[in-house]
């Protein structure tokens, strides 16, 4: 019986934690991680301040948990679906297209969660900066690996500079995100797709493998 009660408390705690994090990622994507506070979350979600605090213990841990939750969502919406496409230039394209869908579809209301918090923490130091920087490095490394795989299977020219191509592709995606959020329009996403497709065709052994942008 005691075990059942404990399991019930743990389950309720997990549900409450997920409820809080589903709100914090939305807030942070628009206002930044510094906008998060136990009092605000307790009021908005109609929870006790002590209950929210007990789940995280500090504002910093709340911020770190929010970064981890955003990373989890990012993997689910972008990285895992792209991995279902066979390695090659088609996977590179799918990864980029999913990222643009993630931003345009406002999975987070502020567009790309990480673009917002990188701008907030890029010149700071400490555990939150490190977590954000690690997420950015991991994403860049993933794009580079995807390009390297495409080169290895013969879809990209042997001399393709994977880090350079990844840098250019990411720059196009992030610019689309910025312009779209700033002006509340979607034209920038098509421009990014056109630019990415053009860059991939220039590096592809068979340009026809890169789809036309409608």
Residue 11 within a domain: no
**45 CB neighbour count, 10 Å cutoff:** 14
* Among 106, 131, 109, residue whose Cα is nearest residue 120: 131
Say how far apart CA 72 and CA 70 lie, in whole Å.
5
Residue 150 within a domain: yes
Residue 117 within a domain: yes
In order of 36, 37, 44, 50, 212, the CA distances from 47 in angstroms are: 15, 13, 8, 9, 50
The model scores a pTM over 0.85: yes
Q: Which domain holds residue 100?
A: 63-207
Residue 114 within a domain: yes
Residue 26 within a domain: no
In order of 63, 71, 158, the CA distances from 91 in angstroms are: 32, 20, 17
Q: Domain holding 131: CATH number? A: 1.10.357.10
Residue 131 within a domain: yes
Q: For the chain, what is the domain count?
A: 1
Say how far apart CA 77 and CA 82 lie, in whole Å.
9
Residue 166 within a domain: yes
pLDDT tens digits in sequence order for the chain, 214 residues long: 555 555 666 677 688 899 999 999 999 999 999 999 999 999 999 999 998 989 999 999 999 999 999 999 999 999 999 999 999 999 999 999 999 999 999 999 999 999 999 999 999 999 999 999 999 999 999 999 999 999 999 999 999 999 999 999 999 999 999 999 999 999 999 999 999 999 999 999 999 999 999 8
Residue 138 within a domain: yes
- List of E strands, the chain: none
């Amino acid at each position: 019986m005691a075990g059942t009660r404990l399991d019930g408390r743990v389950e309720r705690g997990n549900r409450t934690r997920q409820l809080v994090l589903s709100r914090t990622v939305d807030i942070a994507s628009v206002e930044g991680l510094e906008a998060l506070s136990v009092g605000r979350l307790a009021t908005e979600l109609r929870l006790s301040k002590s209950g929210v605090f007990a789940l995280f213990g500090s504002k910093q841990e709340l911020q770190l948990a929010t970064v981890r939750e955003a990373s989890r969502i990012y993997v689910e919406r972008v990285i895992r679906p792209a991995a279902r496409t066979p390695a090659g230039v088609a996977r590179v394209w799918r990864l980029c297209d999913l990222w643009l869908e993630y931003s345009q579809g406002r999975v987070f209301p502020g567009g790309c969660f990480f673009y917002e918090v990188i701008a907030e923490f890029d010149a700071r130091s400490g555990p939150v900066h490190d977590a954000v920087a690690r997420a950015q490095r991991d994403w860049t490394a993933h794009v580079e690996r995807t390009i390297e795989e495409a080169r290895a299977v013969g879809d990209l020219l042997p001399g393709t500079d994977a880090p350079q191509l990844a840098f250019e592709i990411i720059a196009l995606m992030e610019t689309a995100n910025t312009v779209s959020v700033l002006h509340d329009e979607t034209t920038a996403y098509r421009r990014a797709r056109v630019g990415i497709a053009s860059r991939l065709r220039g590096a592809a052994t068979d340009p026809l493998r890169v789809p036309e942008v409608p």
